[in-house]
Amino acid sequence: MLVALLVLGLFFHTNVQLDDWMEEWSAQADYGLTAQLLADLADMSERHPWYFDPQPASTTTTRSTPSTWSGSVEQWRPLVASHFAANKVNTAMCLLAYETGFTGDPNSKNQRSSAAGLFQFLRSTWDNMVPREVTGGSYDSGMVYQPEANVRAAAWLQNAAGWTQWSPYNRGECRGL
């Protein structure tokens, strides 16, 4: 039984352990994304989908702050088009839809992780990977919920690290658009 627990320990981590791992991963990625770092992220995402995947729409909560959100994913297309290359807009819109549980609510917040906003940024990614001049402020400042900042940060991240930063893409949801 002890051997089984030790083996399981190699494959399963707590939220705290994964938060720590993400912070360390982000710190290393700040020096430059390598194939090994991306492979490590893909491996952890595959082993811990409950941590890396967004929640289904039925369990996503929203903040109670006011926004200009009108209840449509498509309302964000002009903003997305202003930050993503034309050939990437449809993929970005698909990811935005999946990440917000198809609501398009910029105040979306995953209850199981720190993922928040239109593109569901983790605190560690927002604060440690995307430059502050792109995000406009720390995660705790609330900028992650500002549509302009969130989309701008998503475009920067996609250009720097590709689509594999988003789990719906990794699952094959938004490919070939």
Residue 22 belongs to a domain with what CATH number? 1.10.530
Bridge partner residues of 116 (DSSP): 109, 121
Q: 87: which 2 tokens?
A: 């050939």
Query: pLDDT per residue over 92-125, tens digit each?
Result: 999 999 999 999 999 999 988 999 999 999 999 9
How many domains in the chain?
1
Q: Which of 6-15, 56-65, 149-158 has the lowest mean pLDDT?
A: 56-65
Q: Tell me if 80 is assigned to some domain.
A: yes
Q: For residue 151, what are the domain limits? A: 14-170
Q: Which of 36-40, 56-60, 80-84 has the lowest mean pLDDT?
A: 56-60
**Amino acid (one-letter) located at 65:** T
Q: Tell me if 1 is assigned to some domain.
A: no
Measured between alpha carbons, how far is 76 from 60 in angstroms, rounded to an integer? Answer: 19
Nearest CA-CA partner of 96 in 113, 121, 124:
121
Q: Tell me if 110 is assigned to some domain.
A: yes
Measured between alpha carbons, how far is 157 from 150 in angstroms, rounded to an integer? Answer: 10
Q: What pTM does this model have?
A: 0.64
